[in-house]
Amino acid sequence: MDRRNFLRQSLKAALGGAAAYATPSGLNLLGAAINSYGPGSFNDYKALVMVFLNGGNDGFNTVVPLEGASYDRYAAARATLALPQSQLLALTPQAGGGASDGARYGLQSGIDAVETVGTRGLQRLFDEGRAAILGNVGALIRPTGKDDYARPGASLPPQLYSHIDQSQYWQISRADDPRKLGWGGRIADLLNPVNGGAALPMTISINSASTLARAADVGQYVLHQTGPLLLQPDDAGLRATLQALVEADRQGHVLERGYAGALRRADANGRAIAQALAGVQELGTPFPATDLGGALRMVARTIAARTALGHRRQIYSVSLGGFDTHDDQLIDHPVLLSTLAQALTAFYDATVELGVANAVTAFTGSDFGRTLSSNGDGSDHGWGSHHFVVGGAVRGGRFYGRMPDLSADSADDAGQGRIIPTTSVDQYAGTLARWFGVADEDIDLILPNLRNFPLRNLGFMG
């Protein structure tokens, strides 16, 4: 290993220790509530797995009205982006689980001459009651209508329609936190004692650090989809130099000591997870040969190692990019949805294989939705969008939240085809947090805006 590659590997390993995002603090925002949770608080295991769709997924070409006047309104509003009915896979809701507008919906199939599977797996999970659809979700501070949006000084999330701001806000869900801690990280800070002396942090991100997992005290671990990146230079002299650099209490500057500590933690965490993964049986469930497939396969393998890691609770983050479909949407979007659906389906099947399907919930997030209107061959930055929740504990085969009116310039249209969300990220996250084990009285500590919404529990978790 040459010096340049060694330095690059060192930086990746340091991220594995979450040094960049862990802010030591004696003034934990969750305060005394943490003392309510301890190693004996839960006798079960649960995991949350966020799949973030970077760029802003076009939810209105993901879940589409199937027929009749609802389809006609959709087709008129979407213009050049409207999908033919032949490209939709019908969704069959459970009794009483239909969409709020009474319309029948389907998934964009993602099926063509090259890809014959498409989104069929996700259709199967919905029809079997293992997947739910949340209609028109987005970042909100309080319930917002068209008149509210137009009012000067309206209470709105910061920098609407900006990728960087909205992808962060979706995962932070509050604008008043200078440290920009993710709501998953705040959950980890609160519940971290339940994992006792676990060998690895509760929050694990695959391939890159996640905003969702930023915490005050619990540093996320960044795990590559092929396994931990360990600092093992081949050269004996380089190994000795490294050991001297990171040895405790040998550094003269506080930043040097902090960096050395991060490398020591990263190395210890990497060795712990490598040992735990070596002790689990290979999965029999096939995963697609995509980056998302590889990332979710690593999540499944790490879940299989939960006992060796000492975890009763885990929060995972993975991502899939490419959803900023300003152009070529009808070409690119079906491929993205097929990639998502096949990886999510394989992941659910792997949790069945591992016997933890009822204990693991995967859910999607994204910067925002896309405009209902077309810009010619793509869509622009929007607001509300539809999302998926998958798992054995999900009350699936149902639609949750209010589906928007897809007529052009409807009461749900903030202008230029940007659909105002009717369900907030806080309601979405609060429902997941409650299932995960956060006491109702503590959820407002995680999601302070939730108190602004009359419905705190969307009911999609059993």
Looking up tokens 């995962």 gives 171
CB 383 within 8 A of CB 160: yes
Distance (Å, whole) CA 19 – CA 34: 22
Domain finish residue from 262, 292, 312: 312
Q: What is the DSSP letter of 16?
A: H
* C-alpha 276, offset from chain centre: 24
Q: Tell me, yes or no, whether 128 lies in a domain.
A: yes
- Please, what sign has the CA dihedral across residues 251, 257, 263, 264? positive
Q: Tell me, yes or no, whether 119 lies in a domain.
A: yes
Is 307 in the same domain as 324?
A: no
Domain finish residue from 292, 312, 332: 312
Is 342 in the same domain as 293?
A: no
The whole-number pLDDT of residue 39 equals 87
Is 403 in the same domain as 341?
A: yes
Is 301 in the same domain as 390?
A: no
The whole-number pLDDT of residue 292 equals 98
The whole-number pLDDT of residue 29 equals 45
Distance (Å, whole) CA 134 – CA 401: 6
Q: Torsion angle of alpha carbons 287, 292, 294, 297, nearest 10°? A: -60
Q: Tell me, yes or no, whether 182 lies in a domain.
A: no
Is 399 in the same domain as 329?
A: yes
Q: Tell me, yes or no, whether 52 lies in a domain.
A: no
Is 454 in the same domain as 325?
A: yes
Q: Tell me, yes or no, whether 331 lies in a domain.
A: yes
Domain finish residue from 285, 312, 339: 312
SS3 content of the chain, % helix, strand, coil (to 5): 40, 15, 45
CB 56 within 8 A of CB 370: yes
- Into how many domains does the chain fold? 2
The whole-number pLDDT of residue 271 equals 85
Is 362 in the same domain as 278?
A: no
Looking up tokens 């792997």 gives 350
Q: Tell me, yes or no, whether 263 lies in a domain.
A: yes
Is 2 in the same domain as 104?
A: no
Q: Exposure of 66 by Cβ count < 10 A (0-12 exposed, 13-18 middle, 19+ buried)?
A: middle
5-40 in b/e burial notation, b at 16+ Cβ within 10 A? ebeebbeebbbbbbbebbeeeeeebbeebbeebeee
Domain of 277 in residue numbering reads as: 1-25+193-208+220-312
Is 413 in the same domain as 430?
A: yes
Is 155 in the same domain as 204?
A: no
Is 378 in the same domain as 261?
A: no
Q: Strands 105-108, 88-90: parallel, antiparallel or unpaired by DSSP?
A: antiparallel
The whole-number pLDDT of residue 285 equals 98
Is 391 in the same domain as 448?
A: yes
- Assigned token pair, 284: 């029999």
Q: Tell me, yes or no, whether 55 lies in a domain.
A: no
Q: Tell me, yes or no, whether 13 lies in a domain.
A: yes
Q: Output the tens digit of pLDDT for each of the chain's 462 residues.
A: 454 454 444 434 444 444 333 333 333 445 557 668 988 899 999 999 999 999 999 999 999 999 999 999 999 999 999 999 999 999 999 999 999 999 999 999 999 888 999 999 999 999 999 999 999 999 999 999 999 999 999 999 999 999 999 999 999 998 888 899 999 999 999 999 999 888 789 999 999 999 999 999 998 999 999 999 776 655 566 556 666 666 766 666 666 666 666 677 777 788 889 999 999 999 999 999 999 999 999 999 999 999 999 999 999 999 999 999 999 999 999 999 999 999 999 999 999 999 999 999 999 999 999 999 999 999 999 999 999 999 999 999 999 999 999 998 999 999 999 999 999 999 999 999 999 999 999 999 999 999 999 999 999 999
Residue count (the chain): 462
- pTM of structure: 0.91
